[in-house]
């Protein structure tokens, strides 16, 4: 609810109103076309509350586009005008992502814009009289078209990808099985002890951030990791005097924290499913995966 009315109006004018207006002005021309299509870049209508909390104005704007897709597809079906929506599975490295997503440091976790372009082309050459009213996902469209090598669209092939908004992310089955197992390194204190063993000067030089963890559940408490000074340090409570305020604060259940650092819960899955809340610099938050990778090698 912190969104100003000016930003609210801008988002809805560009997204919902813009989609409705452009479609209305073009529809009579489209009816005369040989294979007419309207393709909106908007997500499936997912009513999971996690996609409304904290960004309800933006969600309303994007879902306004999706509602145009749903309504117009049915309204113009008899005219053979196809109306569909396309949405990316992962973050795409656009100018907007470069500006507000953290710049080049987040690029490795994104796909190239070409994946959306190729998926859009695959949709627009379909028969408009039969393919309408779909909420398509870019990689699914390409897979159905026979394109299975998705690494060609990765900014950095093999790197983990950041999921986009509005798509629920389930933990892979194998991760759920591993999470259910009792490991020799279970327990919050033991988890932080293992993390301590991974800290070093190279990691400090690479990360340069202070992290705070607000943990609830069975092992409730506050913890911090300082990767700005020396060879790194950690402890309980608030970050000590001299480290400054935390650059990033993570809020989650203590059990999920241990699962995340042991590799049994992916950070992106935890974040997208509402198990992990992040306050602060998102780019520095993503760097925490470096610690996780080193820690998991010791388990």
Q: What are the distances in angstroms from CA 78 to CA 28, 66, 178?
A: 13, 20, 51
Alpha-carbon Rg for the chain, nearest whole angstrom, is 23
Instruction: Quote the tokens at residue 79.
Output: 């005219």
φ and ψ of 280, to 5 deg? 125, -155
Residue 43 and residue 135 in contact, taking contact as beta carbons nearer than 8 Å: yes
Alpha carbons 270 and 217: distance in angstroms, whole number: 16
- β-pairing verdict for 82-87 and 135-137: parallel
Q: Which residues are designated catalytic?
A: 58
What is the four-CA torsion angle of 219, 49, 58, 250, rounded to 10 degrees?
A: 10
Q: What are the distances in angstroms from CA 131 to CA 143, 245, 280?
A: 16, 53, 43
Query: Which strands form 277-280's sheet, in the order they lie side by side?
Result: 233-236, 221-227, 209-216, 248-253, 277-280
């Amino acid at each position: 609810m912190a969104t100003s009315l000016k930003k609210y109006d801008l988002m809805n004018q560009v997204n919902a109103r813009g989609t409705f207006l452009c479609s209305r002005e073009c529809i009579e021309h489209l009816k005369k076309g040989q294979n007419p299509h309207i393709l909106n870049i908007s997500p499936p209508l997912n009513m999971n509350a996690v996609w409304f909390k904290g960004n309800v104005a933006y969600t309303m704007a994007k879902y306004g586009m999706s509602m145009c897709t749903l309504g117009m597809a049915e309204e113009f079906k008899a005219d053979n005008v196809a109306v569909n929506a396309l949405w990316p599975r992962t973050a795409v490295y656009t100018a907007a992502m470069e500006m507000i997503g953290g710049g080049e440091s987040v690029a490795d976790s994104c796909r190239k814009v070409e994946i959306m372009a190729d998926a859009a082309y695959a949709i627009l050459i379909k028969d408009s009289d039969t393919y309408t009213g779909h909420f398509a996902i870019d990689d699914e469209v390409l897979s159905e078209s026979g394109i299975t090598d998705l690494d060609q669209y990765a900014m950095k092939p093999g790197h983990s990808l950041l999921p986009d908004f509005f798509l629920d992310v389930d933990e892979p089955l194998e991760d759920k099985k591993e999470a259910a197992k009792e490991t020799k390194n279970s327990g919050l204190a033991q988890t932080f002890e293992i993390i301590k063993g991974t800290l070093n000067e190279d990691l400090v030089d690479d990360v340069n951030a202070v992290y705070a963890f607000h943990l609830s559940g069975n092992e409730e408490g506050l913890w911090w990791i300082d990767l700005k000074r020396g060879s790194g340090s950690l402890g309980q409570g608030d970050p000590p005097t001299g480290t400054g305020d935390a650059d990033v604060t993570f809020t989650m259940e203590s059990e999920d924290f241990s699962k995340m650092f042991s590799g049994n819960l992916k950070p992106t899955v935890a974040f997208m499913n509402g198990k992990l809340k992040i306050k602060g610099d998102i780019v520095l938050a993503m760097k925490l995966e470096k610690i996780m990778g080193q820690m998991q090698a010791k388990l």
